[in-house]
Amino acid sequence: MDIFGIKALLVCALIFIPFEHLFAERPQKIFRKGFDVDLIYLMFNAFIIKVAMVMMAAVVLHVAAVLVPQSVTRAVSGQPVWLQVAEIILITDIGVYWAHRAFHKIPALWKFHAVHHGIEELDWLGAFHSHPVDAIATKAISLTPIFLLGFSEASIAVFSMIYFGHTMLVHSNLRVPFGPLKWLIASPQFHRWHHANQREAYDKNFAGQLPLLDVLFGTYNATGNKAPEKYGVDDPIPASYFGQIGYPLRPRRKVSNRAVPSAEA
């Protein structure tokens, strides 16, 4: 049993590394700064998150069996799979948007999310560079309604493949023109401006998959084809995996500009 996702890692590497070399947004080495740490995040964090999600799903399904009428869950799971997947994308991304925004706006939560923003060279592997508290909380918030409403296992499986593939894409070092689709589907350009350590990018582009949520709630940052000057955060983030895991518990010597709620929020 490949509990650490080695096979999935190799498949993803074989897909993204060549394309990032051929269609790079900016020149960058394959074994860039933090590459080894991100491998640990991918394998070790993935195991922790899977365990947490299985436990969460078991609890939510038990609650659903008691509180949610079977007529509701039968109606939801009886829909065509493609329609269920579309509904799951919408519901989960609303959860991701507000959880993500909270992790930016609440200083105690930002300490955990800052670990993800500490990435200074962005590529597909950076998709997995998240503190476990950040990742588990966001997934719990976004997926709880899915388990409560009784979406089918097949639709959740299809959504999971779309979600993980898309998450790697938006973190990738790829220049991919989305054209008019940029308003409907989050692109690498859309998300790299969320990671930009520049004032005009702070607290923008929170959606994971649906940029229209940022348009609707006033947090969309339209950047055209311009690339960010730099990524990262103001605070020095430890270089090691365990240093980053313990980082949110350490007293902070300098407050990042990102941790200060903006006047427009």
pLDDT at 141 over 70: yes
Q: Which of 69-73, 113-117, 190-194, 256-260 has the lowest mean pLDDT?
A: 256-260
Q: Which pLDDT belongs to residue 139? A: 96
12 neighbors 168 (Cβ within 8 angstroms): yes
Q: Which pLDDT belongs to residue 261? A: 44
224 neighbors 202 (Cβ within 8 angstroms): no
pLDDT at 260 over 50: no
Helices (H), the chain: 6-22, 35-40, 46-67, 70-77, 81-105, 107-117, 132-149, 153-171, 188-195, 212-217, 241-246
Report the C-alpha gap between 211 and 214 in whole angstroms. Answer: 5
Q: Which pLDDT belongs to residue 253? A: 55
Question: Strand, helix or coil at 24?
Answer: strand
Share of the chain above pLDDT 90, in %: 74
Q: Which pLDDT belongs to residue 252? A: 63
Q: Which residue has the higher pLDDT, 126 or 10?
A: 126
pLDDT at 3 over 60: no
**pLDDT tens figures, 204-237:** 999 999 999 999 999 999 777 788 999 999 888 9
**pLDDT tens figures, 28-42:** 888 899 999 999 998
> Quick one: CA torsion of 49, 55, 61, 63, rounded to 10 degrees?
-120
Share of the chain above pLDDT 70, in %: 93
- Output the pTM of the full model: 0.90
